[in-house]
Amino acid sequence: MFGRSHSVRLVLIGLAIVALGHTGTLAQTRATAAPAEGSEHDFDFLLGNWEFIAESKLPGVPPKYPGRWTGERTGAGAIVEDDFIVTDDQGVRRYLGITLRAFDAKTKQWTTAFVVPPGAKWSVGRAWREGNEIAEGSDDATSGKRARFLDIAPDHFTWSMEQSNDGGKTWANMVRVQATRVAGSPQADTALSPARIPASK
């Protein structure tokens, strides 16, 4: 499905998928559900190794393609780092997007920072819990895009990106990522639990 000629396109795919998750409109996303109080364990489900299949309606992007998603705690357990990797049919990495997530004990939300190596331009956003789902975006009111994690379980989760062309009145799903935990992949490590880190004052 993917050849060498698709390398540049795959970079655009990754930018369209993951970066858009950090450029959705907070006000538009929050209107869909009442925010629930988040905790430092909101992203524990993401820890470990995942394989995914993405389905896309974005123009110029293959309708289906594979990838890997990995998550771990860094910074003495205070930061959740996850790597979003798009691969070709041979499993060769064609794109890497890295997200750092830090929980704010005061706001009960997360600050997120996203970068695409070897570039060094960071995209800063926020994430917050809405019931059993986690939404993410920024304060960019012109974006017309929003993203969320849903159907979260120990062995699977879904990441969805939607787009609006009418100021948030209607939304269309543009990308849907179905992730499955790799067999034997470790889950949340209590030794790295942020519960042992003093809350910010």
Query: pLDDT (tens digit, 9 = 90+) per residue, 73-101?
Result: 999 999 999 999 998 878 788 889 999 99
Sequence letter at residue 41:
H
pLDDT in tens, 125-135: 899 999 999 99
d(CA 19, CA 98): 10
3-state secondary structure (DSSP) of residue 153:
strand
pLDDT at 49: 96
- Can you list the domains of the chain with their CATH numbers? 4-187 (2.40.128.20)
Q: Using CB atoms within 10 A of its CB, is residue 63 exposed (0-12), middle (13-18) or buried (19+)? A: exposed
What confidence score (pLDDT) does residue 200 get?
Answer: 42
pLDDT tens digit sequence for 132-189: 999 998 656 566 788 999 999 999 999 999 888 887 788 889 999 999 999 988 776 5
CB atoms near residue 138 (< 10 Å): 18
pLDDT at 17 over 80: no
- CB atoms inside a 10 Å sphere around CB 85: 19
Residue 65's DSSP bridge partners are: 54
Tally Cβ neighbours within 10 Å of residue 142.
Answer: 8
Which 3-state string (H, E, C) describes 15-28?
HHHCHHHHCCEHHH
The sign one gets for the Cα dihedral 148, 121, 77, 108 is negative
Say how many CA atoms lie within 13 Å of 119 toward its Cβ: 12
**Per-residue pLDDT, 187:** 76
Token reading at 66: 């594979």
Residue 169 to residue 62: CA distance in whole angstroms: 28
Residue 147 half-sphere exposure, CB side, CA atoms within 13 Å? 22
Cα end-to-end span (Å), the chain:
51
Q: What is the pLDDT of residues 25-47, one digit of tens each?
A: 443 444 344 456 789 999 999 99
The amino acid present at 101, given as its one-letter code, is R
pLDDT confidence of residue 91:
76
